Amino acid sequence: MKRFIVTGGAGFIGSHLCEALLAEAGNEVICIDNFDPYYDRRIKEGNLSVVRKKTNFSLIEGNINDQDFLDDLFKNNRIDVVFHLAAKAGVRPSIQCPNEYYEANINGTQNVINAMVKHNVNRLIFASSSSVYGSNSKVPFSESDPVELPISPYAASKRAGELVCYVAHHLYNLNVACIRFFTVYGPRQRPEMAIHKFTNMIDNGLPIPAFGDGSTERDYTYIDDIIQGLVNVSKKEFKYEILNLGESETTKLKDLIYYIEKSLRKEAKINWMPSQMGDVDKTYADISRAAELFDYRPNTKVKDGISKFVEWYLENKKKNVAEAVF
């Protein structure tokens, strides 16, 4: 039997991860979430609707910036692996309130590490981000590329989190895998993220705000492929690793909009706008290291993933489930 902590476990990625971990016999999951008001609490509660019925799952509401809360949690539970996903999310919002991002994403990560070291928990999987690569001109992005020039507070906070993790590995022999996610999407994606936002607006006949000229490219990664990678990492040994998890393919913004249009069978009204501060022109993951060390094999093409997402969107809309999403 393994007992996992998933911080931020009521979120988009976290809730899918909880389901995948609980699908394996003998596993127990403790989900920590503070239900940050960044988006409607009802959405997160809906994310957990399946796992909350399971006896091997528990939800504990609390904040990783509360060291006493974390100490009590680790003291009262034997933990094998910590997935640390809790963070303030979003590149553009981080520019408006950088201190909040540094407090949650850097100090919060240190607090989790403090509790792990104090209570002899030695395996941490930390959610980082492709944003740490900044305006990297070399593609695809490799874990060995320099990442010392982030261009948003969010990116800086995630890179700092990786460094905090390395210090803990060096000083306390904490085993850490830092996972750089590349634009994750799929069912339950946060409502303000581009794919979900565009789908909702196109469906309702509203003009979508598209930044740039449509040529920017992203490595969009379907949620099932991300979860496969995270679960694979948790099953193998590591000391200190930094890994890209992406689809290792790029899609232009204008093509992404086209896939959503086709899946909805509706035409988009597009309001083209200037590029935004903090945005990069292209992301593209080199996943060879994750494939070699952890048998990572993403297999969802973006047009297929968009079709699955839109199917989920329409089904939930039809059932009037978690109406706060729409």
What positions carry a catalytic annotation? 154
Q: Which of 110, 142, 137 is nearest to 126 (CA)?
A: 110
Helix axes 108-118, 153-172, angle to 10 degrees: 20
Q: Are 31 and 19 in contact (CB under 8 A)?
A: no
Q: Look up residue 106 and give its DSSP letter.
A: I
Cα separation, 82 vs 175, whole angstroms: 11
Q: Which of 243, 116, 232 is nearest to 174 (CA)?
A: 116
Buried residues in 59-87 as b, exposed as e (16+ CB within 10 A) = beebbbeebebbeebbeeeebebbbbbbb
Buried residues in 181-213 as b, exposed as e (16+ CB within 10 A) = bbbbbbbbbbbebbbbbbbbbbbeeeebebbee
Q: Are 41 and 11 in contact (CB under 8 A)?
A: no
Cα separation, 19 vs 15, whole angstroms: 6
Q: Which of 101, 22, 105, 99 is nearest to 58 (CA)?
A: 22
